Structure 1
Amino acid sequence: MIQDNTDPASSEGTPVLVAVGEGLLEVGVRDDLPSDYLGRGIGGDVANVAVMAARMGTPARLLTRLGADTPGRLLLDFWRRAHLDVDRVAVDPSAPTGLYVNAVRHGGHTFDYYRSGSAATRLSAADVDGRLLDGAGVLHVSGISLAISGSAARAAERAAELARDSGVTVTFCVNHRPMLRPDTDQNLAFARAADIVILSSEDARAMLDTDRPDRIRAALGEGPQEIVLTDGPAGAVVLTDGEIHRVAAPRVVVVDTAGAGDALAGAYLAGRLAGTAPPDALEVAVIAGALSCRWPGCARSYPSAEEVARVRAGASPDVEPQPSSSESA
C-alpha cells in the first residue's frame, strides 16, 4: 500500500519516487531509414520509470553511477532536463557508462548491451543511506538492478530494508533478462516481499512458469498488495483486493516499442503516489505505455501528462507526437 511520507520541500507535497539501478545510453539503428542513420536515446529501466513518473508530475530521485565520459554526460544532462533529482548520481572516473544498441527492424527489434564493468555495476550498499529515502513514498527496484552485479543487488536489497523500516512502499519490476543470467530465486524472493509487483507475461512465464493472473497471485503469496501484469498491445491487468481489473491499450501507429513497459510502470506508480485507485492508475499507465511507442527510443519517446490526459478524454492517440524540450538531446 502506498504510504504518505511527504517531504514539505518536495514538489507540491507529493511523495518522491526513488529508483535504484542503472542508466544506459541508447544507440539507435533502423531498417526504415538511410543506412547512415544513427539515433541517440536514453535508457536504463529504473531510470526510464523515474523519467515517466516525472513526466506525470511526480518528484523522482535516481541512485546510480555513471562514468566520467560523454555517454554519462548525455544521460545526466537529459535527466536534469527531465526534472529528476540527480544528487545521488555518482560519477566514477574509473569505469565507463553502459550503453546498448537498439536495432529496430520490420516486425520487432533487438538489443545488444555493452554494460560489463560499467560504472552502474559498481553500485554498492555503501551508496545507500537513510537520506536516500527523504520524502519518499515509493522505492523502485527491478530485476535488472539485481542482476547487473552482486554489489548492485546488495545496494537494492539495502535500500529495500531501509524502505520497509521507514514505511516506504517497495515496488519491483521483474524485467527478466536471460542474457544477464538472473537469479530466479532471488527475483522471486524480492517479488514476494514487495508491496507492488509489475511484470510482463514473458516475465511471469520465466519466473513462475505461468501467465495466468490467478496462478501468479497464488505464486507470489500475500506480500504484494498490487500485481500489474502487462501483455503488450493487449493492455494490462491489475490484481488488488481480491479482484482483477483489465485495461485495453489504445491502438497507435507503432514506431518503436522499446521502453513501453517502463513508461507504463512510471505512470502507474505516479498515479498511485497521487492517490489514484489502482484501476484508474492502470488506465492512465496503459495509455502512457502505448503513446511511448509512437517515437523512437526509450525515455525520449515518453508522452507528457497533457498528452495522456487528452487521449484518456477521447482524443486520437495517433496525432504526431511533439518531443518536449527534454527530448531534444
Structure 2
Amino acid sequence: MIQDNTDPTSSEGTPVLVAVGEGLLEVGMRNDLPSGYLGRGFGGDVANVAVMAARMGTRARLLTRLGADTPGRLLLDFWRHAHLDVDRITVDPSAPTGMYVNAVRHGGHTFDYYRSGSAATRLSETDVDEHLLDGAGALHVSGISLAISGSAARAAERAAELARDSGVMVTFCVNHRPMLRPDTDRNLAFARAADIVILSSEDALAMLDTDRLDRIRAMLGEGPQEIVLTDGPAGAVVLSDGEIHRVAAPSVVVVDTAGAGDALAGAYLAGRLAGTAPPDALEPAVIAGALSCRWPGCARSYPSAEEVARVRAGASPDVEPQPFSSESA
C-alpha cells in the first residue's frame, strides 16, 4: 500500500469520507486541442466524489488498486495534490491501471473504456479491514464499484457491513452502466440498505423503471434516510424526513458534462458530513455540478469551495473557470 505522511487536508478532526471503487486515467479528445494532441484527465466515479468532497474541505480516503505504470503514477500524483488520503491504495504490478477516452463533441460526449482486467477490478475483501473506516463519517460506494468485478463488489459489500456495525453512514450512487452488465438485484439490495442514495433520472428508469420520486421511495423502502434525484441542467431534488426540496441549477456555458454528477454527489456528502441539513447541502452541490461543466474532463474540472460559495452568494457562474490540476492544487 502507498504510504503518505502528509496531512491529507486542513480539516483535521472532521469525519472522513471513505470511497471504495476504481480510479481511471482519462484521455481527452476535443476540438480545442491542437491537432495531434490528447488531453489528460482523471476519473473513476468514487474517486471523483472523493476529490470533490476534498475540494469542499472534507477529509477523504480512497480504497482502490492501481497498476505499477504511468497512468497509475499520474492518478496517484493527482489524488495526492487533491489532498486525498491515499494510504489504502495498493499498487499491483500484475495488472494495468484502467483508462477511458472522453471524446467531447458538440452537444455531448462519448466514453470508451479500457478497464477489463485492470488493477481496480482485482480489489477484494482482503483489501478491507477494520482500520479502513478509522475516523470515518461515511462510506461511499457506487453501482460501478459493484459492477467492475465480483471481487470488487464483495469488497464494497464487506466495507458496508463494517460501516453498519460501526455506526458509519453508508452512501450509494447508483450510476447504472449497461455496458458493465450490472446486477440490478445486487444494486437494488445495496441501495435499500444505504442511508443516502443518489441517482439520476436515467439511473432510476434503468433500475426501478420509474423516475417519479414517490415511486422511487416506495421501491427503495424505508432504509434510505435521504434520496437525491438529479436531472441534469434542471438541477436536483432531495427527499428527506418526508419533505421534498428542489434546487435549480445555475446556467453555465457547457463545455463538458463528464463527471458533473460525481461533483454534485461529492459536494452534497461534504455538506452532510459537516452537519449541514439536506436542503442546504443540496444547493452548493447543484452549483458544484453545474460549475464542473465549464471545463473539459472529470475531476480536473471541479470548482473550489470558494468558487461555489461565490456563485451561491450571487456571483455570475460564467466567470472564466480555473481548472483544477496537480500544478494548481
| TM-score when normalising by structure 1 | 0.96
Q: Please list every run of 5 or more consecutive structure 2 residues that lacks an aligned counterpart in the other structure.
A: none
C-alpha displacement of 1:10: 8.5
| 2:95 partner SS | coil
Query: Residues 166-195 of structure 1: CA distance to partner in whole angstroms, max 9, x if unpaired?
Result: 000000000000000000010000000000
Partners of 2:197 and 2:313 lie apart in 1 by 28
C-alpha displacement of 1:12: 3.4
| 1:188 partner SS | helix
| 1:327 partner SS | coil
C-alpha displacement of 1:322: 1.4
Partners of 1:241 and 1:6 lie apart in 2 by 39
Count of aligned positions: 329
C-alpha displacement of 1:37: 2.9
| 1:288 partner SS | helix
From the superposition, tell whether residues 127 and 4 of structure 1 become closer, same or farther in structure 2 (CA, over 3 Å).
Answer: closer
Give 1:39's aligned residue. Answer: 39
From the superposition, tell whether residues 245 and 113 of structure 1 become closer, same or farther in structure 2 (CA, over 3 Å).
Answer: same
From the superposition, tell whether residues 103 and 20 of structure 1 become closer, same or farther in structure 2 (CA, over 3 Å).
Answer: same
From the superposition, tell whether residues 10 and 159 of structure 1 become closer, same or farther in structure 2 (CA, over 3 Å).
Answer: farther
Give 1:103's aligned residue. Answer: 103
From the superposition, tell whether residues 6 and 217 of structure 1 become closer, same or farther in structure 2 (CA, over 3 Å).
Answer: farther
- Give yes or no for contact 2:8–2:80 (8 Å, CA) kept in 1: no
Percent of pairs identical after alignment?
Answer: 93
C-alpha displacement of 1:35: 3.3
C-alpha displacement of 1:8: 14
- Give yes or no for contact 1:148–1:180 (8 Å, CA) kept in 2: yes
Query: Residues 242-263 of structure 1: CA distance to partner in whole angstroms, max 9, x if unpaired?
Result: 0110000000000100000000
From the superposition, tell whether residues 83 and 46 of structure 1 become closer, same or farther in structure 2 (CA, over 3 Å).
Answer: same
- Give yes or no for contact 2:100–2:113 (8 Å, CA) kept in 1: yes
From the superposition, tell whether residues 33 and 326 of structure 1 become closer, same or farther in structure 2 (CA, over 3 Å).
Answer: closer
- Give yes or no for contact 2:291–2:303 (8 Å, CA) kept in 1: yes
From the superposition, tell whether residues 250 and 10 of structure 1 become closer, same or farther in structure 2 (CA, over 3 Å).
Answer: closer
| TM-score when normalising by structure 2 | 0.96
Query: Residues 241-298 of structure 1: CA distance to partner in whole angstroms, max 9, x if unpaired?
Result: 0011000000000010000000000000000000000001000100000000001100
C-alpha displacement of 1:36: 1.9
C-alpha displacement of 1:34: 3.7
- Give yes or no for contact 2:301–2:324 (8 Å, CA) kept in 1: no
Query: Residues 104-156 of structure 1: CA distance to partner in whole angstroms, max 9, x if unpaired?
Result: 01111000000000000000000000000000000000000000000000000
- Give yes or no for contact 1:24–1:97 (8 Å, CA) kept in 2: yes
C-alpha displacement of 1:323: 2.7
- Give yes or no for contact 2:230–2:237 (8 Å, CA) kept in 1: yes
Q: Does 2:10 correspond to 1:10?
A: yes
- Give yes or no for contact 1:238–1:244 (8 Å, CA) kept in 2: yes
- Give yes or no for contact 1:6–1:15 (8 Å, CA) kept in 2: no
- Give yes or no for contact 1:288–1:308 (8 Å, CA) kept in 2: yes
From the superposition, tell whether residues 25 and 3 of structure 1 become closer, same or farther in structure 2 (CA, over 3 Å).
Answer: closer
From the superposition, tell whether residues 61 and 285 of structure 1 become closer, same or farther in structure 2 (CA, over 3 Å).
Answer: same
- Give yes or no for contact 1:28–1:101 (8 Å, CA) kept in 2: yes
